[in-house]
Chain A
Amino acid sequence: DAKTTQPPSMDCAEGRAANLPCNHSTISGNEYVYWYRQIHSQGPQYIIHGLKNNETNEMASLIITEDRKSSTLILPHATLRDTAVYYCIVRVGTLYGQNFVFGPGTRLSVLP
């Protein structure tokens, strides 16, 4: 199973871009990279996912390296409400069933 490695914590100044790295060196060719975040003890919130190309949506941008061994989630203008634990996930599964394996994630603190 592909594993991910993230820094345990990061700080970011409010209004600045938050860049959260993730290593997934054992990812296979057909595995997607997903990002979720969890604010306090709320349900994990889907942010973005990608396979090979960079992706952008209204919440964030996802940059995946060409060799797909690492990726970076970018929150372009972090606000205090972005303080959360961010999870980088490589989904494990087949067409039959799947599992999202959550690691410890990165605790992002957005500072005023």
Chain B
Amino acid sequence: DSGVTQTPKHLITATGQRVTLRCSPRSGDLSVYWYQQSLDQGLQFLIQYYNGEERAKGNILERFSAQQFPDLHSELNLSSLELGDSALYFCASSVTAGSGNTIYFGEGSWLTVV
């Protein structure tokens, strides 16, 4: 158990819908990261937050957005869902934002778009 908690574990929704994935970082960690893993692609970095502030951005679609709240939990919002958005979404956390920090992953949220 890494200490990173993600909910829900599984989610099935229809195309065009909007979902929110939630992440609670490890106790004491201020930075959170979101990754997407689909069947035909590896782990793709989406975005990083540190203490509520966006710090790094990867290949995150405009239909996707994220935020980190004052209590440090984070949410990833996925809208206008398409079949291709079906994937495993991981959250990770680290103590601080920059180099020298190991990141620890949660168990992921399975999203299936039908």
Residues of A within 8 A of B (CB): 30, 32, 34, 36, 41-46, 49, 87, 91, 93-105
Measured between beta carbons, the chain A residues less than 8 angstroms from B101 are 98
Q: Is B58 an interface residue (CB 8 A)?
A: yes
- In this complex, the member of A43, A91, A96, A100 whose beta carbon has the largest number of chain B beta carbons within 10 angstroms is A43
Q: Classify the secondary structure of A's interface with B.
A: loop
**Contact A105-B42, Cβ < 8 Å, known A97-B48, A98-B56, A100-B103:** yes
CB distance from B58 to the nearest CB of A (A): 6
Interface contact B99-A98, CB-CB below 8 Å: yes
In the assembled complex, the Cα of A52 lies from the Cα of B15 at a distance in Å of 49
Q: Quick one: which of B6-50 are within 8 Å of A by CB?
A: 33, 35, 37, 42-43, 45, 48, 50
- Nearest-neighbor residue (CB-CB) of B110 within chain A: A41
Interface contact A101-B108, CB-CB below 8 Å: no
**Contact A103-B42, Cβ < 8 Å, known A43-B108, A97-B97:** yes
- Nearest-neighbor residue (CB-CB) of A94 within chain B: B98
Partner of B99, one of A87, A94, A102: A94
Measured between beta carbons, the chain B residues less than 8 angstroms from A87 are 43
Partner of B45, one of A42, A43, A96, A99: A99
Measured between beta carbons, the chain A residues less than 8 angstroms from B58 are 99
- Nearest-neighbor residue (CB-CB) of A100 within chain B: B103
- In this complex, the member of B99, B106, B107, B108 whose beta carbon has the largest number of chain A beta carbons within 10 angstroms is B99
- In this complex, the member of B43, B45, B50, B106 whose beta carbon has the largest number of chain A beta carbons within 10 angstroms is B43
- 28 A-B residue contacts at CB 8 Å? A32-B99, A41-B108, A43-B90, A43-B105, A43-B108, A44-B105, A45-B2, A45-B105, A46-B102, A46-B103, A46-B104, A87-B43, A93-B98, A95-B99, A96-B97, A96-B98, A97-B97, A98-B48, A98-B55, A98-B56, A98-B97, A98-B99, A98-B101, A99-B33, A99-B56, A100-B33, A100-B45, A104-B42
